[in-house]
Amino acid sequence: MIGSTMEGERRDAVRAVGDLAALVLCAGLGTRLRPLTDRVPKPAVPVCGIPLVRWNLALLRGAGARRAVVNVHHLPEAMARAAQDAGAALGLPVAVSREPVIAGTGGALREARALLGEAREILLVNGDVLFDVDLAEALAAHRASGALATMVLLPMPPGARYAAVEVDGAGAVRRIAGAFGPGGDGLTPWHFSGVHVLSAALLDRVPAAPFECDVNRHVYPPLMAEGLVRGFVASGPWNGRAAAGGYWNDLGTPARYLRANLDVLRGRVPLARFPGIDPLAGEVPSSHALVARSARIQGAGRLRDAVVGERCVVPAGAIVERAVLWDGTALAPGEQVVDAIAAADLRVPATGE
């Protein structure tokens, strides 16, 4: 199997029997966030100074995952380092499945199988989404259903064009993206969160070919016909962004990436769901600016709704408003970074959707 490697010091951990493991998908190219993702893999981009992958690992650890595997392809060394550093900070062992050729969602399961060991269940999540979900609730529903796979679902965000997951009245998934599965009448469409709860036996149903194997196209359709794929609607008054009790953001564009940072600043992301992460620890000014300790704010630089990373320099007269400055970014005197992301020499507008 191409790409699966065992990290020597973690060999025993990944072979634990009967536990809850996680597979975090981190191999994607993040094309919609370019040029930022030409430099940093999307699951490693900072959200209020903390790599996104660490947010996801914290969510998984809080749900009881004892270990995790991440798959890597784009900027693989940087992604592997970010994931393992995040796991070390959280006390969660992380192994790396390397994919020189992208294997797809189903293929990622196949390539990582040796690293997943003899887990009882697997939480499969997209590493490039910031999502507040009660995974313990989803796990309980999965165990009670007897399904091989449970897809965690949300109401479709207003105006969104995401492909729907259609579920019958008994909670069985019958059609995905309008094309895959047996279908049927009277189905209800939902938005897929990117989280799957899987029984270990599902790994036996992942085909060896094609190599780039998609769960929706190649794994789930025959299981749907057997009633073995279920939908679980996560609780919370969802609106596709932030809500009391529910948050989901795919950080898919510069605007949505900026919004994720600002939503954390404004208290719209429930930090209690992410144990071990508190970017707002300490004093946060009333202007909602989060400034790293090593950043230098000179003179009368103006900050509002801003995240300023380590070793950044904001000179006198500069304006940073509704913006994120990545570590090591130095602004010019009088420069204005508004509705944008600044990363070293890059200035990326973050308007629209």
Between helix 76-90 and helix 52-62 the angle, nearest 10°, is: 40
pLDDT number for residue 115: 92
- Rounded Cα gap, residues 45 and 68, in angstroms: 19
pLDDT number for residue 161: 73
At position 315, the amino acid (one-letter code) is: P
pLDDT number for residue 287: 62
Total residue count of the chain as it appears in this document: 353
pLDDT number for residue 24: 95
pLDDT number for residue 133: 84
**Contact of 135 with 60, CB cutoff 8 Å:** yes
In the chain, which segments carry CATH 2.160.10? 285-353
pLDDT number for residue 238: 45
CATH of region 285-353: 2.160.10
Class of domain 8-255: alpha beta
Token pair belonging to 82: 């970010």
In the chain, which segments carry CATH 3.90.550.10? 8-255
pLDDT number for residue 58: 94
pLDDT number for residue 209: 87
Reading the chain (353 residues) residue by residue, the pLDDT tens digits are 334 334 443 433 444 445 899 999 999 888 888 999 999 999 999 999 999 999 999 999 988 899 999 999 999 999 999 999 999 999 999 999 999 998 888 999 999 999 998 888 999 999 999 988 888 889 999 999 999 999 999 887 776 677 899 999 999 999 999 889 899 899 999 988 889 999 999 999 998 889 989 999 999 999 999 999 999 988 764 444 433 347 888 888 999 999 999 999 888 888 888 988 888 775 455 567 898 888 888 876 688 899 999 999 999 889 999 999 999 999 999 899 999 999 999 999 998 67
pLDDT number for residue 241: 42
Half-sphere exposure of residue 312: CA atoms within 13 angstroms, side-chain side: 27
**Closest-CA residue to 302 (of 329, 325, 336):** 336
Pairing of strands 229-233, 149-154: parallel
pLDDT number for residue 165: 93
pLDDT number for residue 301: 67
At position 205, the amino acid (one-letter code) is: R
At position 115, the amino acid (one-letter code) is: L
Q: The tokens 């029984």 sit on which residue? A: 199
Q: How far is Cα of residue 287 from the mean position of the Cα atoms in its chain?
A: 28
Half-sphere exposure of residue 95: CA atoms within 13 angstroms, side-chain side: 29
Q: Which helix (H) or strand (E) holds 136?
A: helix 135-145
pLDDT number for residue 21: 92
